[in-house]
């Protein structure tokens, strides 16, 4: 069975990092596709874990080689989703979480319309601003860019099939898990799983084919 593609977006500071980590930790059969980026590695990050950190030249080679399912320039850096990784992971039957910006989500939905899309909203602008400032991972210029971009990004929520407010972490995690689990039960995703059940009906059918007298 092929796993679902689950696209998660939010404005920077929406808190999706923590949320995604918790969903991955507590949901079986789910995994994360590590993107490529040209942005600087932050303290505490590890190459190959949060991202594959590459320079612009290498990123352009990867574009030319067709390695990206989608890529976008976000807050002044390039980010791209690895096509080979997503294919390998979904073929293994696992659901794959993709954390992308809103442009990336739109591009992915155009090429994979069956993907599950979830938008994560912060409870308010002041909360988003406080989270970003407390995180203290950006220079003040980068912080301004991210805050300014949040005004247009937040308006994109209705392009997504689902939306979750990330206020209380535990509640948001449970909501995400519910969405992911429900999607697994859509009939069109279960044709393979149901084949054995349908075959058992098929095998028994001949016993009932004669009209009773
Ligand atoms: P950050 O630099 O804070 O890790 O991420 C900045 C933005 O880039 C976030 O909105 C994040 O979701 C997005 N992003 C991360 N990976 C990808 C990707 O592969 N493609 C696209 N389009 N956006 C990404």
| Residue 213: per-residue pLDDT | 66
For residue 16, the ligand 1 atom closest to its alpha carbon is 12
Does any ligand 1 atom lie closer than 6 A to the CB of residue 101? yes
Does any ligand 1 atom lie closer than 6 A to the CB of residue 12? yes
User: With a cut of 50, which residues of the chain have pLDDT below it?
Assistant: none
| Residue 157: per-residue pLDDT | 95
Distance 29 CA to ligand 1 centre (A): 23
Residue-by-residue DSSP string for the chain: -PPPEEEEE--TTSSHHHHHHHHHHHSTTEEEPPEEE-SPPPTT--BTTTEEE--HHHHHHHHHTT-EEEEEEETTEEEEEEHHHHHHHHHTT-EEEEE--HHHHHHHHHH-TTSEEEEEE-S-HHHHHHHHHHH--S-HHHHHHHHHHHHHHGGGGGGSSEEEE-SSHHHHHHHHHHHHHHHHT-GGG-HHHHHHHHHHHHHHHGGG-SPP-
Structure confidence by residue, pLDDT tens digits, 43-68: 899 999 999 999 999 999 999 999 99
| Residue 212: per-residue pLDDT | 67
pTM of the model: 0.91
Which domains, ranges and CATH numbers included, belong to the chain? 5-210 (3.40.50.300)
| Residue 139: per-residue pLDDT | 83
Distance 191 CA to ligand 1 centre (A): 33
């Amino acid at each position: 069975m092929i796993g679902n593609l689950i696209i998660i977006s939010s404005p920077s500071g929406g808190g999706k990092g923590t949320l995604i980590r918790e969903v991955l930790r507590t949901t079986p059969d789910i995994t994360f596709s590590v993107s490529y980026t040209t942005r600087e590695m932050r303290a505490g990050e590890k190459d190959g874990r949060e991202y594959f950190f590459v320079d612009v030249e290498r990123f352009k080679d990867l574009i030319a080689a067709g390695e990206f399912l989608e890529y976008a320039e976000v807050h002044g850096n390039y980010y791209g989703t690895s096509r080979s990784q997503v294919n390998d992971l979904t073929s293994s039957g696992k659901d794959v979480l993709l954390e992308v910006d809103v442009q990336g989500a739109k591009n992915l939905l155009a090429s994979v319309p069956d993907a599950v899309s979830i938008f994560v909203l912060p409870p308010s602008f002041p909360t988003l601003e406080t989270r970003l400032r407390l995180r203290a991972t950006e220079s003040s210029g980068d912080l301004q860019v991210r805050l300014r971009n949040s005004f247009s990004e937040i308006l994109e929520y209705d392009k997504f099939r689902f939306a979750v407010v990330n206020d209380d972490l535990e509640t948001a995690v449970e909501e995400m898990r519910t969405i992911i689990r429900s999607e697994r039960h859509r009939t069109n995703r279960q044709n393979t799983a149901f084949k054995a059940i349908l075959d058992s009906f098929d095998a028994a059918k001949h016993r009932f084919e004669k009209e009773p007298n």
